[in-house]
Amino acid sequence: MIPKQCWIFFSYFFFVPEQCSSVKLNIVEGKMQYLYDDSGRRYLDAFAGIVTVSCGHCHPEILNAITEQSKLLQHATTIYLHHTIGDFAESLAAKMPGNLKVVYFVNSGSEANELAMMMARLYTGSLGMISLRNAYHGGSSSTLGLTALNTWKYPIPEGHVHHVMNPDPYRGAFGADAASYANDVQDHIDYGTSGKVAGFIAETMQGVGGAVELAPGYLKLVYDIIHKAGGVCIADEVQTGFGRTGSHYWGFETQGVIPDIVTMAKGIGNGLPLGAVVTTPEIASVLAQKIQFNTFGGNPVCSAGGLAVLRVLDKEKRQAHCADVGSHLLERLRFLMERHDIIGNVRGRGLMVGIELVTDRDNKTPAKAETAVVFEKLRELGVLVGKGGLHGNVFRIKPPMCFSKDDADFLVDALDYSLSKL
């Protein structure tokens, strides 16, 4: 039991109001798609520890891999060889297209994006980075510069980042017209830089920003523009990777591009503190000029766990499962739109879904207060979802990938009931 004073301290410093319920649950146990609080109450987890628990809470095979490795060796640092890090890197690189064959292990998504940005700057000799408005790329001091949601931004110096128009088909000024948004990237380069940039970073479906899928064709156009300006293109797969989108293993594949650098975290470890950066040998060579070192990155326990995650996702055919359950969920949610005018938009792919609430569909006025009420109601009914978007009016549904059609039905029924009580 956590002492009460400690609990208040943790609540104050670690819980983010935009994402969390005003009632602080004390979650003490997890099993696949379910979480249990300290009173023994079970919740259906449709948020997976913010898209982190890919295979399921305490998945037995992953637990076993971590436990067996812990019994042998937990840590010796990467100054020594250990076969798990090589095996894991090889398996991860095998999932990558093109020449993305060099893997660095880190401990979080922020660290992965820090490293990717450093590589981009070293490789190109330029400083300027381009990221999308409404993006989240981390909370460390440099990645906060890439993040473009004021909810998360502290007033600290951040330089050399241009936030371009978000190609958001629902709220964006140009709808789903990818070419017009791509022109904005070119404008930033032409008017705001020397003509050269270090790189461009984007999630292929914005996670924290509220499951916003980029206008079709956008990345292809922008990657060309960035390459012409001497920059490299980074895909942030922290939320979209590992088959969650159902149609593809990586989010960037949905836009038909191959990035120069790919960053990942969260789902890669099913809850272990693990992240990775994958790039080409040519780009990676810039790090050879000094020592790139990370004490815990790629330690044997995390590597054994990460390797087990890749194995389980393949063995249990989770990508296909996400496509199947996700399309059922989206279909039911779209049907719900006909019953509740407050649902302005239902979007997503696979098990990465956003439900945006608005007070009127014409003006798309964010229904922030109503979203908060329904969020609480869902929790009372035993369903945990995420909340996001700049206005906190989007439900984020990103459950562990073992989420079933029955779970999806329960979630939609609970949402239907909660909305009817508004």
Residues lying near ligand PMP in the complex (CB under 6 A):
50, 108-110, 113, 136-138, 203, 207-208, 236, 238-239, 265
Q: In angstroms, what is the minimal distance from the CB of 8 to ligand PMP?
A: 23
CA distances from 274 to 271, 315, 419 (A): 8, 21, 37
Q: With respect to ligand PMP, which residue has the nearer C-beta, 103 or 189?
A: 103
The owner of tokens 């969020």 is 375
Q: In angstroms, what is the minimal distance from the CB of 227 to ligand PMP?
A: 23
What is the C-alpha to C-alpha distance for residues 292 and 288, in angstroms, rounded to an integer? 8
Q: In angstroms, what is the minimal distance from the CB of 147 to ligand PMP?
A: 8
Q: In angstroms, what is the minimal distance from the CB of 17 to ligand PMP?
A: 15
Q: In angstroms, what is the minimal distance from the CB of 249 to ligand PMP?
A: 17
- The answer to whether residues 78 and 297 touch, using CB atoms and an 8 Å cutoff, is yes
Q: With respect to ligand PMP, which residue has the nearer C-beta, 193 or 239?
A: 239
Give 163: exposed, middle or buried? Use CB within 10 Å, 0-12, 13-18, 19+: middle
Q: With respect to ligand PMP, which residue has the nearer C-beta, 154 or 191?
A: 154
Q: With respect to ligand PMP, which residue has the nearer C-beta, 207 or 246?
A: 207
Q: With respect to ligand PMP, which residue has the nearer C-beta, 131 or 418?
A: 131
Within 10 A of 162 (CB to CB), how many other CB atoms are there? 19
Per-residue HEC secondary structure of the chain comes to CCCHHHHHHHHHHHCCCCCCCCCCCCEEEEEECEEEECCCCEEEECCHHHHCCCCCECCHHHHHHHHHHHHHCCCCCCCCCCHHHHHHHHHHHHCCCCCCCEEEEECCHHHHHHHHHHHHHHHHCCCCEEEECCCCCCCCCCHHHHCCCHHHCCCCCCCCEEEECCCCCCCCCCCCCHHHHHHHHHHHHHHHCCCCCCEEEEECEECCCCCEECCCCHHHHHHHHHHHCCCEEEEECCCCCCCCCCCCCCHHHHHCCCCCEEEECHHHCCCCCCEEEEECHHHHHHHHHCCCCCCCCCCHHHHHHHHHHHHHHHHCCHHHHHHHHHHHHHHHHHHHHCCCCCEEEEEEECCEEEEEEECCCCCCCECHHHHHHHHHHHHHCCEECEEECCCCCEEEECCCCCCCHHHHHHHHHHHHHHHHCC
Task: Look up residue 96 and give its two tokens.
Answer: 């990558």
Q: In angstroms, what is the minimal distance from the CB of 159 to ligand PMP?
A: 20
Nearest residue relative to ligand PMP (C-beta): 109
Q: With respect to ligand PMP, which residue has the nearer C-beta, 203 or 356?
A: 203
Q: With respect to ligand PMP, which residue has the nearer C-beta, 301 or 414?
A: 301
CA nearest to 107, candidates 269, 237, 280: 269
Within 10 A of 15 (CB to CB), how many other CB atoms are there? 13
Q: With respect to ligand PMP, which residue has the nearer C-beta, 16 or 72?
A: 16
